[in-house]
Structure 1
Amino acid sequence: MAMACHASGGLLATAGADRKVLVWDVDGGFCTHYFKGHKDVVTTLMFHPDTNKTLLFSGSADATVRVWDLLANKCFATLERHFSSLTSMAVSEDGWTLLTAGRGKVVNLWDLHDCVFKMTIPTYEVLEGLCVVKSGTELASFLGSCNLQSGKRRDRSSSIYFITVGERGIVRMWDSERAVCLYEQKSSDVTVSSDTDDSPRGFTAAVILPLDQGLLCVTVDHQFLFYSLVVHLEEKFKLMLSKRLVGYNEEILDMTFLGEEEKFLAVATNLEQVQVYDLESMSCSYVLAGHTEIVLYLDTCVSSSGRPLLVWSTDGISDDADQPINLKSKAVVAAHDKDINSLAIAPNDTLVCSSSQVRNLQTIASLHSLYNYFWLNEDSLFMEAARSASGDKTIKMWAIANGSCLKTFEGHTSSADGLVKQWTVKTNEFIATYDQHEDKVWALAIGRKTEMFATGGGDAVVNLWYDSTASDKVEAFRKEIRGIEELLEGLIPYSQRHFSRIDRLVRSTFLLDYTLHGMSVIEPDINATEMNDADNKLLVEKGDQEQELTSEMLKEKAPAKKRKPKKSKDTSRKKVKGDAYTSLAPIPLMV
């Protein structure tokens, strides 16, 4: 229900419907404090902004505020002056004044030296957000100028400027010393401002952004409104809406592209307003208000370029812009016996096609179908035909001239599969399936110039689809290197010569080993695992046996020899060494 983080970032306080307040160590992940004492749900929490003061404030639906001392691990004080649930709290810049707000339509000020009540400021509005304006900021200078313009000013040092937001959906700025509102928005920017269904409306929270970046307000329908101060005429400041971020759309009922370049997308949801999105940033640029019920259908018309000067006669029209104009119907046709679900007008404005729950389309002739209800139809731009979609999971194309069915497109599995399928009209061929939605697809808008389309449905998601065929071809062409075949053919001879040279070098290393072994410089190093041929292994074993026999024969002959002169000894040594060389077995070359 409530959560707050300490200014140092090391502690986190949480509270909920169990009426308890827990303080956690962020690094260790364990609970450091456990407080209980509230008699109802804890709705708001706040640490003292000064890190040297170990105080924690908690507000509850029992209309009380409790001050907890983290060092003493107990309730320091209980503040009882509210008569409704607490929603927001703030501490003054000097750290000794506590401001509390709730649904009792008042703001109370408390002295933190001894936790006593100071004063009450009536706001006549159910409050949901409260924040204190620090001195030296742009908002403080703006409120100071508003205070000077009022002509009444008390001690400036003891005054506290604060901002409140609530059910009315407007931002108001106050002076605590005089208990007056210095600034109030003339109109609300909240898309839902009525309270007909007994649900909370307007703002739910407000935060002053750091570095003089303005004010951030949160609405009930999950929108973030960014406000900034601008200089208005006659050097007056004004709070203007600079950005709107939409967090939730409920169900998307209809969409259409806007502008000649189709840079905007109008979306109709389960609200009375129409939201216009900028396709480049996907931010909500405009909110069109005026309807009193949910908007179900959107369409556009081509307007003038703005160059001609048109003169209109205003005779008989009331000066009141809010007064509706009474229109008269030129003709009435009883075309259907049940509810009409959809209408479509031909591009040349000569035909009107309608569909209803009696399973037929009605133009000049009746286009009969034997299936379920029709929900959508549109006149073809290329031929005198009408297209219809039905609850029987089929799409049909009808000839307006004789009312016959030209083609039937089948392939959808159900109405809630969230799939978008693409067909070729000429060949009646299924092309592709696009799957990104998790619920029914209610809205489909096709761009005429941008080669893209948008889909929206019951999952509150708007998906933009781009035709990437041309871009994929360009990317593939860029990746392809021109003349790659000729380049590889030229590299093949060089590669072959290089590998031949490497092979010769490898063979030469084997011959060098054989020579050094024959000179008794190195001992033979034979690894059986490196021999792939069994015959080579047998040859090596045979050579070893012959070497052993030769050495034994030489040993037997040595004692029988007589002493010879030095010259004859050298000759015999050379002879023996020559016999040893000739008796060595051949060493196979492994390449």
Structure 2
Amino acid sequence: MAGLCEKSFAVQAKFSTFYAGGDVCWSNDGQTIYCLNNTEVCAVNIATGQLKRVYGTNVVVEDSLTQSNKASSADVEQLEDAIPSFSLSPDNTLIVTAHRSSLLRLWSIDTGKVVKLWKAQHRGPVVKVIFSTCGKLICSSGADSSLRLWDYVNRTCVCALREFAGPALLLKFHPDATCTQLYAAGVDNAIYCWNYAEKRLIRQMRGHLSHVTAITFLGCEGDATDYLVSVSRDKVLIVWRLADGTQHKVLPMYEELEGVVACTDVGKNCGAFDVVVTCATGTLKLVNCKSAKLSTLSEDKSHEFRQLLYCKSTEQLAVVTVEQNILIYKATTECFENKKLECVKQLIGFNDEILDICFLGENDRFIAVASNSKNIKIYDTEANMNCKIVSGHTDTVMTLSVASGTGLLLSAGKDLSICLWRVNPNNLNVQCVARNNSSHTSTIGCIAFACNTAAHFASVSQDGSLKVWELKKNKEIKEAPHTFNLKYSALAHDKEVNSVSFSPNNKLLATAAQDKTAKLWSAESNSLVGTLRGHTRGVWCVRFSPVDQVVLTSSSDCTLRMWSLATLTCIKRFEQECTVLRAEFIDYGKYIVSAASDGLLKLWSIKTNECLQTLDAHTDRIWSLAISSRSGKCFYSGGADSNMIQWQDVTTICRNEEIDKRAELAQQEQTLQCLLQQQQNMKKAFSLALKLGKPRTTYNIICDFVRQRKTVSVRELIDTLNSDQRVTLMEHTKSWTTNSRHCKIANLVLHYLLSDCIAAPGEHGVPGMRNVVEVLTPYLQRHHKRVNELTKELMFLEFIVNNI
């Protein structure tokens, strides 16, 4: 079985950025949430957290508005045109996107294609778009302080509204489809109301002292009086009478308000004047606009809230945070009766740079992620990657470490503190059980538990120090069940230390630093065992082999090196093209996975010193690798491109496919030989010869037709070939043309192929035809010259014979 795949990995799942700030819309069925991501709109399945479809990458125009509004071809080619705003139609069949180039695109949700494309005609970029309640109109707000209403069904611009200080960052149609009112909030903190059917401004509602962030309507179903509720960052909620635009009630909230939702459809026991407001400080409150009664529904000071959405069909609230995370709350009648909302789902829209990843819990069920944030994300791999955001640090978390089988997680970072967390696998409840706030004098770059125990751990810092800690339990103190005791401290390196690791027997420690060295230390004392010298630039990572007496290091000098613990010498060296940031042993120490600054992962065989596979899925530096301890059959990678990718071992699958492929080729080879021996069904034999890549056999089949004067059959044979078969035949023809003995057949085949391309280039075109012609031209000229010389000689010989 020589040549079979030795080891191979493939992408199993990819968790990438789907929200980078801006508009968010929720489908009517509550299953999909649509998020703005710079140049595209991402449809995300709430249950799984996976991307369903992306709108904005492959633009295919099916239709357009009027001829005068058609975009130029240059505009269509601007696929990287940023999208500042989008909106979802009420029936969830269309999406409208506004672009910095003043283009408006209308997308079909089902097909993902552009069905209409037109210029917004604003003097400047479009900053906001929204569908009307009836779904037949689109309102666009431009930087030129104007609003335009588009009837895209009848392909007309209904009106242009300019009587306000814009641009409008907040647009809202009256929820009654028969009421032709449009509301907008401008930069002057006022709310404007237009009757767009009559093209006139009805009123201005002034009362807020800061930017109006959200509005909602009250009493719109059978109530004699309609009300409008507005919230602002001036910490005030105002209830307006829509009949005359006067203030009905002003409620001080003492917190900046970011969103508001009417409770008419939320809870059956909620009053007509109840609303839910979201505060910037991470609080959700229930407000009775009539009695001014406040009730706190949820409070999490670790988040800063920005937007609030509600889905009636699933009875859920969605809150968008300033870190581009989306929190889904259960908002049933029972929740409002108990005055408590339960967070049931957390979607991570943007991870920024992923600095570290590690497996957590029994059977590596959970994944802990540090992502250039003061919060830690913990994913449940057995619950559709449901995420728990853990807060406790005051600055960026740089490193994580897990004690195998204990549910304990260590975290450290720029705030110089070390936190110990206990994770409950049943409800994903995370509790901080120990903390040290003054462990180092500079950023903690790496932290590591001892192997298979939680009794010891080590930390290293940019101040060059190494510290080894003992973890002890205090059963008597419930508030602090664990404590850290410093075992010893050492000034390990002259420059910042990047990595620390324990040996499998926990007797040695290894550190790697920017001073171009890695050092070995006794885990029991601060005595130096040895120094590994040889790298010409800073060392980023150091790891002990799980089975051999060797140490692995990776460096900015583009190399991986394996060192003998006995002699402290380099015994193996692996070359890469750029800085190797991380390296891990995999599959019980048989292979190495390395991550580099160019976004490439490489799989190395320790036995053969060969690179078995290059994994290309990241677009930027790869900072972290997490190897599953269960079997080493999968691992995760994360980097500066905000992508977290799960890689699965597909060696067995690849081997089986290779075996099946060889068996199929052997069967086809046998079938071909049978057909050639029996001289039957030569068309099938010709197709098999092309598929198996046998130019000699294809030449012999065509030669047999030519000897039998069946050139028409040759033409019919070529006409039945598909594009891939024509490419293969062209490659065979190239090899024939180089030999003068085969040039006649080669010219015949070329004649048929080229004539087909000229007659129907789209139907019979061969990819790379121009290159083939350039390559074959010198040979064809030589053959033509030789034939001409031979013709002259024959004519001269005929002249001599005729005159004898």
Same fold, judged at TM 0.5 (above): yes
* Aligned mates of 1:301, 1:320 — CA distance in 2: 21
Cα shift readout 1:515-559 (whole Å, capped 9, x = no counterpart): xxxxxxxxxxxxxx9999xxxxxxxxxxxxxxxxxxxxxxxxxxx
Secondary structure in structure 1 of the residue aligned to 2:363: coil
Q: Cα–Cα, structure 1 residues 130 and 236, in superposed 2: closer, same or farther, change >3 Å?
A: closer
Secondary structure in structure 1 of the residue aligned to 2:397: coil
Instruction: Tell me, yes or no, if structure 1 residue 393 matches structure 2 residue 574.
Output: no
The counterpart of 1:209, out of the listed 311, 316, 337, is 311
* Aligned mates of 2:331, 2:497 — CA distance in 1: 49
Following TM superposition, by how much is the alpha carbon of 1:4 offset from its aligned partner in structure 2, in angstroms?
2.1
Q: Cα–Cα, structure 1 residues 87 and 186, in superposed 2: closer, same or farther, change >3 Å?
A: closer
Task: Give the aligned partner of residue 420 of structure 1.
Answer: 601
Instruction: Tell me, yes or no, if structure 1 residue 170 matches structure 2 residue 283.
Output: yes
The counterpart of 2:571, out of the listed 393, 406, 413, is 406
Instruction: Tell me, yes or no, if structure 1 residue 455 matches structure 2 residue 620.
Output: no
Q: Cα–Cα, structure 1 residues 362 and 52, in superposed 2: closer, same or farther, change >3 Å?
A: same
- Runs of 5+ consecutive residues of structure 2 not aligned to the other structure: 1-126, 408-423, 425-471, 521-528, 580-595, 683-708, 713-804
Amino acid paired to 2:531? S
Following TM superposition, by how much is the alpha carbon of 1:473 offset from its aligned partner in structure 2, in angstroms?
4.1
Task: Give the aligned partner of residue 85 of structure 1.
Answer: 211
Task: Give the aligned partner of residue 736 of structure 2.
Answer: none
Secondary structure in structure 2 of the residue aligned to 1:53: coil
Instruction: Tell me, yes or no, if structure 1 residue 121 matches structure 2 residue 247.
Output: no
* Aligned mates of 2:189, 2:681 — CA distance in 1: 89
* Aligned mates of 1:253, 1:242 — CA distance in 2: 26
Following TM superposition, by how much is the alpha carbon of 1:458 offset from its aligned partner in structure 2, in angstroms?
0.5
Q: Which structure has more strand as a fraction of its residues?
A: 2
The counterpart of 1:240, out of the listed 342, 347, 359, is 342
Paired residues of 1:231 and 1:238 also in contact (CA < 8 A): no
Amino acid paired to 2:518? L
Q: Cα–Cα, structure 1 residues 318 and 498, in superposed 2: closer, same or farther, change >3 Å?
A: closer
* Aligned mates of 1:255, 1:4 — CA distance in 2: 40
Paired residues of 1:451 and 1:467 also in contact (CA < 8 A): yes
Instruction: Tell me, yes or no, if structure 1 residue 278 matches structure 2 residue 391.
Output: no
Between 1 and 2, higher relative CO (CA 8 Å, sep ≥ 6) is seen in 2
Q: Cα–Cα, structure 1 residues 436 and 498, in superposed 2: closer, same or farther, change >3 Å?
A: closer
Q: Cα–Cα, structure 1 residues 277 and 73, in superposed 2: closer, same or farther, change >3 Å?
A: same
What is the TM-score when the length of structure 2 is the normalising length?
Answer: 0.53
Following TM superposition, by how much is the alpha carbon of 1:29 offset from its aligned partner in structure 2, in angstroms?
5.4
Q: Cα–Cα, structure 1 residues 67 and 313, in superposed 2: closer, same or farther, change >3 Å?
A: closer
* Aligned mates of 2:181, 2:324 — CA distance in 1: 31
Paired residues of 2:325 and 2:347 also in contact (CA < 8 A): yes
Secondary structure in structure 1 of the residue aligned to 2:652: helix
Amino acid paired to 1:210? K
Following TM superposition, by how much is the alpha carbon of 1:278 offset from its aligned partner in structure 2, in angstroms?
3.0
Instruction: Tell me, yes or no, if structure 1 residue 434 matches structure 2 residue 615.
Output: yes
- Runs of 5+ consecutive residues of structure 1 not aligned to the other structure: 145-158, 194-201, 307-311, 500-528, 533-591
Paired residues of 1:263 and 1:280 also in contact (CA < 8 A): yes
Cα shift readout 1:260-306 (whole Å, capped 9, x = no counterpart): 32233221101112112233565333222222221111221123599
Paired residues of 1:230 and 1:238 also in contact (CA < 8 A): no
The counterpart of 1:468, out of the listed 650, 661, 668, is 650
Q: Cα–Cα, structure 1 residues 111 and 484, in superposed 2: closer, same or farther, change >3 Å?
A: same
* Aligned mates of 1:313, 1:447 — CA distance in 2: 28
Following TM superposition, by how much is the alpha carbon of 1:403 offset from its aligned partner in structure 2, in angstroms?
1.5
Amino acid paired to 1:350? K
User: 5 Å matches for 1:312-331?
Assistant: 314=474, 320-321=479-480, 325=483, 327-331=484-488
The counterpart of 1:381, out of the listed 546, 569, 580, is 546
Instruction: Tell me, yes or no, if structure 1 residue 187 matches structure 2 residue 300.
Output: yes
* Aligned mates of 2:659, 2:338 — CA distance in 1: 58
* Aligned mates of 2:187, 2:143 — CA distance in 1: 10
The CA RMSD over aligned residues, in Å, is 3.4
* Aligned mates of 1:232, 1:36 — CA distance in 2: 46
Task: Give the aligned partner of residue 18 of structure 1.
Answer: 144
Paired residues of 2:361 and 2:405 also in contact (CA < 8 A): no
Task: Give the aligned partner of residue 185 of structure 2.
Answer: 59
Amino acid paired to 2:650? S
User: 5 Å matches for 1:468-507?
Assistant: 468-474=650-656
* Aligned mates of 1:383, 1:497 — CA distance in 2: 61
Following TM superposition, by how much is the alpha carbon of 1:88 offset from its aligned partner in structure 2, in angstroms?
0.6
* Aligned mates of 2:325, 2:357 — CA distance in 1: 19
Paired residues of 2:636 and 2:646 also in contact (CA < 8 A): yes
* Aligned mates of 1:496, 1:229 — CA distance in 2: 76
Cα shift readout 1:72-96 (whole Å, capped 9, x = no counterpart): 1121101111111111111114261
Instruction: Tell me, yes or no, if structure 1 residue 94 matches structure 2 residue 224.
Output: no
Following TM superposition, by how much is the alpha carbon of 1:102 offset from its aligned partner in structure 2, in angstroms?
1.1
Paired residues of 1:257 and 1:445 also in contact (CA < 8 A): yes
User: 5 Å matches for 1:285-364?
Assistant: 285-303=387-405, 314=474, 320-321=479-480, 325=483, 327-363=484-520, 364=529
Amino acid paired to 1:97? Y
Task: Give the aligned partner of residue 536 of structure 2.
Answer: 371
Cα shift readout 1:487-515 (whole Å, capped 9, x = no counterpart): 979x99xx99999xxxxxxxxxxxxxxxx
Percent same amino acid among aligned pairs?
27
Amino acid paired to 1:361? A
Paired residues of 1:16 and 1:43 also in contact (CA < 8 A): no
* Aligned mates of 2:681, 2:488 — CA distance in 1: 91
Cα shift readout 1:359-378 (whole Å, capped 9, x = no counterpart): 11111111112400111111
* Aligned mates of 1:232, 1:531 — CA distance in 2: 84
Secondary structure in structure 2 of the residue aligned to 1:265: strand
Following TM superposition, by how much is the alpha carbon of 1:19 offset from its aligned partner in structure 2, in angstroms?
2.4
* Aligned mates of 2:155, 2:498 — CA distance in 1: 57
Cα shift readout 1:197-245 (whole Å, capped 9, x = no counterpart): xxxxx12111110224311111122222111147989x84631111111
Q: Bigger CA drift: 330-339 or 90-99?
A: 330-339
* Aligned mates of 2:277, 2:651 — CA distance in 1: 53
Amino acid paired to 2:288? D
* Aligned mates of 2:541, 2:395 — CA distance in 1: 21
Amino acid paired to 1:5? F
* Aligned mates of 2:383, 2:474 — CA distance in 1: 41
Task: Give the aligned partner of residue 517 of structure 1.
Answer: none
Amino acid paired to 2:623? W
Aligned pairs, number = 465
Paired residues of 1:245 and 1:284 also in contact (CA < 8 A): yes
Task: Give the aligned partner of residue 538 of structure 1.
Answer: none
Amino acid paired to 1:335? A
Q: Cα–Cα, structure 1 residues 98 and 468, in superposed 2: closer, same or farther, change >3 Å?
A: same
Q: Cα–Cα, structure 1 residues 29 and 453, in superposed 2: closer, same or farther, change >3 Å?
A: farther
Following TM superposition, by how much is the alpha carbon of 1:352 offset from its aligned partner in structure 2, in angstroms?
0.6
Task: Give the aligned partner of residue 165 of structure 2.
Answer: 39
Following TM superposition, by how much is the alpha carbon of 1:420 offset from its aligned partner in structure 2, in angstroms?
0.6
Q: Cα–Cα, structure 1 residues 45 and 231, in superposed 2: closer, same or farther, change >3 Å?
A: closer
The counterpart of 2:627, out of the listed 446, 449, 470, is 446
Following TM superposition, by how much is the alpha carbon of 1:248 offset from its aligned partner in structure 2, in angstroms?
0.7
Paired residues of 2:556 and 2:578 also in contact (CA < 8 A): no
Amino acid paired to 1:388? T
Secondary structure in structure 2 of the residue aligned to 1:238: coil
Paired residues of 2:146 and 2:166 also in contact (CA < 8 A): no
Q: Cα–Cα, structure 1 residues 453 and 243, in superposed 2: closer, same or farther, change >3 Å?
A: same
Secondary structure in structure 2 of the residue aligned to 1:261: helix
Q: Which has the larger radius of gyration?
A: 1
Paired residues of 1:222 and 1:246 also in contact (CA < 8 A): yes
Secondary structure in structure 1 of the residue aligned to 2:653: helix
